[in-house]
Amino acid sequence: MNRRIVDYLYYGFKPYVPANKLESYNTEYLKNGKNNLTFIKSFFPTYVDIEKYHKKPKKKVDVYLFNYFVVDIEVFGLKQTDTFKKFKSTM
């Protein structure tokens, strides 16, 4: 299956969404799941404490997910970087 980068982020961040927000996370994503930078930068921080988990992810391999979101997206936009490829390979 050829997924969009935003889909990988959606599934990657899902374990970090609090249980009481999970339904709205799913609903909003399915309604508005656009593959653009503006959507990405506003959607995920609404549901995930990026700052907290960037420093201490639940799983060590998720460091690639958070580094991609915090660093690579700012520098490269929604492109497949080496960090993204490492994150993708851990899914």
> Cα 90 to chain center, whole Å?
14
Q: What is the pLDDT of residue 33?
A: 65
pLDDT(3) > 70: no
Q: Which of these, 48, 49, 50, 56, lies nearest to 74 by C-alpha position?
A: 50
pTM: 0.86
Query: If DSSP codes are grouped into helix, strand and coil, which group holds residue 25?
Result: helix
Could you report the per-residue pLDDT of 8-50, keeping only the tens digit for each? 999 999 999 999 999 999 999 988 767 788 888 889 999 999 9
Average pLDDT for residues 54-61, to the nearest whole number? 90
